Amino acid sequence: MQPTQFPKILLQWYDQQGRKHLPWRQDISPYRVWISEIMLQQTQVKTVIPYFLRFMTCFPNLNALAEAAEDEVLAQWTGLGYYSRARNLHKTAKKIISDFQGEFPKTLLEIQSLPGIGRSTAAAILAIAMNQKAAILDGNVRRILSRLHMLEEKTASAMEKKLWELAESYSPDLRIGDYTQAIMDLGASICLRSRPLCQTCPVQVFCQANQHNRVAEFPKPKNAIKVASRSTRMLIFYQADRHEVLLEKRPPVGIWGGLWSFPECSADENLEEFCQKHYGYRVLQTDNMPEFKHTFSHLHLFITPVVIAFTPLGNQIRENDGRSWHKLNQGNQARGFAAPIKRLLADLRNLTTHLSP
Ligand code: SF4
C-alpha cells in the first residue's frame, strides 16, 4: 500500500462518519485539545464528556486554570481517577503562564517539556489545534497499526520503533488535524479492542490481519502484569454533636496524591495505640462498616471503614494544612476526593442522618 492511500481513504470516511459533534471538537484551541486529550487517557469518551463540559465552565481558559487552587482543580476531577493528571494540568497551566508568556508553546519538544504531556499527546495538540504535521501513537493507533501490519516484533523497543515509523509514514501533509481525529475515531468505533467491526472498516482492504483471518491475535499481548493486594482501615473519627469527621490531605505523590481522605491504619496495627499515638484520642467504641475493594491499575486495595467514638487525651489536635474537620451535611466544600471517599462520605451522611434523633 502507498502510505498516501491510507490517510486518503480514512479522511473520506471521517468526512462522512467522524464524531465531529464531540465538545472538544467545537471551538478548537490548544487549551481545549490539551484538556480533552489528558481526560481521554485511560477513560472512555462517554465518561469524559460531562467532566470536560464542567471543567470548561469552571476553567474556561489557561489563566482561569492557572489561577485556581489545586483543590478546586482536583474537585472537578473527582471520579475520573489517575489524579496525577489533574495535578499536572494545574502545574502546566502555571508553567505556560510563567515560562511561555501565557501562549501555548508551538513545538513538539517544548510541549513535551510540560508536566504530564508525552510525545503522542504533544503531537495531538500540534496536529489538531495548530494543523502542524506530527504523528500520534495512542492506544487506538497502536492497535490499528499492529493489525494492519501484523506486527510481531520480538522486543518492546523494536515494537515501539516500528510503530512510530509507521505512524509517521501515514501522517499526511494536508489535513493533519482531521486525519489525527479520524484515526482516533477508527480505533474508538470500528477497530475495537475486542470484536472489531471489520465488515464496516474503511481500511479493511489494507489490513493484513483481516486478510489472513488473524485479527484476534493482534496486538500481541504484553506480559500479564501482576496486580498486588493490600488491606487498610480508614479511621472515621466522628463527632456526633457537630456532625463532623476528621479528614487528612494525602501526600502529593502516591495513591490519591493531594486529595482528601480519612486517616489510615494498617490492618495489623493496634488501633487503640495508633489513635492515641498519632491523634491523642482514647478510643471509646469502634464500629466496622462493610469492607469494600477499590482497584487501581497496579493494586487491589481492600478497605474497611471503622467509625470511632473517641475522647481527646490532653490537647486536641488542631486543624492545620493537612488535617481538617469536615461537616457531613455541607457537601464536598470544594475539596478533591477520590471516588470511593466521596461515596463513603455520602454513606456516612445517610447513616448519621438516619441515626440522628
Ligand atoms: Fe481493524 Fe478490522 Fe479494520 Fe483491520 S479490518 S483495521 S482489524 S477494523
Our mutation pick for probing the ligand 1 site, out of 140, 203, 220, counting the most ligand atoms within 8 A of Cβ, is 203
Catalytic residues: 37
Ligand 1 site residues (CB inside 6 A) read: 144, 147-148, 190-191, 196, 198, 201, 203-204, 207, 209-210, 215
Question: Strand 244-249 and strand 260-261: pairing?
Answer: antiparallel
| Distance (Å, whole) CA 120 – CA 122 | 5
Q: Ligand 1 centre and the CA of 115: distance in Å? A: 34
One digit per residue, pLDDT tens: the chain, 357 residues?
666 799 999 999 999 999 999 999 999 999 999 999 999 998 889 999 999 999 999 999 999 999 999 999 999 999 998 899 999 999 999 999 999 999 999 999 899 889 899 899 999 999 999 999 999 999 999 999 999 999 988 777 788 889 999 999 999 999 999 999 999 999 999 999 999 999 999 999 999 999 999 999 999 877 644 667 899 999 999 998 888 999 999 987 778 888 899 999 998 899 999 999 998 899 999 999 999 999 876 788 999 999 999 998 876 555 665 899 999 887 655 678 888 998 899 899 887 765 544
Our mutation pick for probing the ligand 1 site, out of 210, 213, 218, counting the most ligand atoms within 8 A of Cβ, is 210
Q: Ligand 1 centre and the CA of 210: distance in Å? A: 6
Cβ atoms < 10 Å from Cβ of 286: 16
